[in-house]
Chain A
């Protein structure tokens, strides 16, 4: 079981947990504002853009090449940007904080 904290652009804090699936799915289930996940998680729509908290970035890891190509054209892109449909829920990311980019 991993616990994730989402902070939306209007500073709402949502804490949610799950053992499987992706972070995007977790965000959708918990109605996190600004995470749409239109494409269902195939790295196509970029509507699940988050910024990983600085202290957690190493835990979450950097985007792969295809994801990075998507991200660099996004508004609000920064060096800690990720598409959260590409982050799997696992114990390895327990406790991380993600800031919704949109």
Chain B
């Protein structure tokens, strides 16, 4: 097995019965493993609710550590559509040429830096910086602000000891409260101010609603982007021919990003609360219980994907769900895609070879399933062209 490989721990259960079960703080979760079941469930927002008690649809549940509702992710129709419509245009900004140029500058600087170093630890010294700096573009705030987020370290939402650390999360929440107050005092062109100016149902958005959007923006794009960036570098370390091919055929980059995201599936799964007794893949689920849509398993479903455990960079048909599916599909997907497309282009242009020197895998523990989602740390050496 290659060091950069992410094995599929769900294959057997997916084929045999279609679901798994995980115990989560006395509120168990039925994990749906097949692509068609995941898609169908994601589309059925009536039976499978997102707007439950704040934090409940997240696995592990965050009910005990937060009260703020993340928006629009923890809201159901029709209100969901109202919020989403307010946010769509802003989160499409990554397609603008000026945004893309700024992103290219950020990534080029990091790759140039890496090429100068004897070796670097990718998570801390590359991916964390990249994610934090790119986030200043998404929020449209000064680049320097990223220094604060980099100083928070890898895990502002969870500590080394616990996946759920309320005191750690409080750092982010206090920070966002402060930023909202600052924006109220002096409205600008940043995301906070844009939200504060927005109207929903004929009234201004409340501070709590703005906070709900901002927490989601920070939390949703942190680990996911960091893992996707790091996993990409590990992949190219073991597939230098792919890097050379991307350099020769840059038009392949879009397909390559979709394939890498399918293969990595940076977010393993996301939950829903069942509103009425029903069944999923012929398995009964009770009202008020939880199911999860396991994107990572769905993305390896051999009934749709040929050779699902191989990275085929120019895969033409790739109906993956790595950014979710249905109305709650990832709001930051345009930004994430642009980050990865730019990263691939810059790596292909500048890097000849990457060597993995040392690494420690990050294995998520979902009881019967142990899933590698990326690395706790990975040290590499870059070699330029």
A residues 60-81 near B (Cβ < 8 Å) are 64, 66-67, 69-70, 73
Nearest neighbor of B253 in chain A, beta-carbon distance? A40
Q: Is A15 an interface residue (CB 8 A)?
A: no
B residues 252-271 near A (Cβ < 8 Å) are 254-255, 257-259
Interface flags for A7-41 (1: CB within 8 Å of B; 0: not) read 00000000000000000000000000000001111
Q: Is B25 an interface residue (CB 8 A)?
A: no
Pick the residue among B254, B255, B304, B326 that contacts A66 (CB under 8 A).
B304
- Taken together as a complex, chains A and B put the C-alpha atoms of A70 and B254 apart, in Å, by 20
Q: Is A45 an interface residue (CB 8 A)?
A: yes
Q: Count residues of B near A (Cβ-Cβ below 8 Å).
A: 23
- Taken together as a complex, chains A and B put the C-alpha atoms of A71 and B213 apart, in Å, by 30
Interface flags for B304-330 (1: CB within 8 Å of A; 0: not) read 100000000001111111010010010
Is the interface on chain A under 10, 10 to 19, 20 to 34, or 35 or more residues?
10 to 19
Q: Is B337 an interface residue (CB 8 A)?
A: yes
Q: Is B215 an interface residue (CB 8 A)?
A: no
A-B pairs with beta carbons under 8 Å apart, 8 shown: A38-B333, A39-B258, A40-B254, A42-B255, A42-B316, A42-B318, A44-B258, A69-B319
| Interface-facing stretch out of B2-10, B35-43, B52-60, B98-106 | B35-43
Q: Is A87 an interface residue (CB 8 A)?
A: no
B318–A43 contact, CB under 8 A?
yes
B254–A73 contact, CB under 8 A?
no
A77 to chain B, nearest CB (A): 11
- B-chain residues with CB within 8 Å of residue A43 when the two chains form the complex: 317-319
- Taken together as a complex, chains A and B put the C-alpha atoms of A45 and B317 apart, in Å, by 11
Q: Is B334 an interface residue (CB 8 A)?
A: yes
- Taken together as a complex, chains A and B put the C-alpha atoms of A44 and B258 apart, in Å, by 9
A45-B329, A66-B304, A69-B36 known; A38-B316 Cβ under 8 A: no
- Taken together as a complex, chains A and B put the C-alpha atoms of A40 and B252 apart, in Å, by 10
A66-B304, A66-B317, A70-B319 known; A40-B40 Cβ under 8 A: no
Pick the residue among B43, B258, B304, B334 that contacts A42 (CB under 8 A).
B258
- Taken together as a complex, chains A and B put the C-alpha atoms of A38 and B36 apart, in Å, by 21
A66–B337 contact, CB under 8 A?
no
- Taken together as a complex, chains A and B put the C-alpha atoms of A42 and B317 apart, in Å, by 5
9 closest A-B pairs by beta carbon, nearest first, are A40-B254, A42-B318, A42-B258, A73-B43, A43-B319, A44-B319, A66-B317, A44-B320, A43-B317
- Taken together as a complex, chains A and B put the C-alpha atoms of A41 and B329 apart, in Å, by 17
B304–A41 contact, CB under 8 A?
no
Interface flags for B4-23 (1: CB within 8 Å of A; 0: not) read 00000000000000000000
A91 to chain B, nearest CB (A): 22
- Taken together as a complex, chains A and B put the C-alpha atoms of A89 and B254 apart, in Å, by 19
- Taken together as a complex, chains A and B put the C-alpha atoms of A74 and B188 apart, in Å, by 38
- Taken together as a complex, chains A and B put the C-alpha atoms of A43 and B318 apart, in Å, by 6
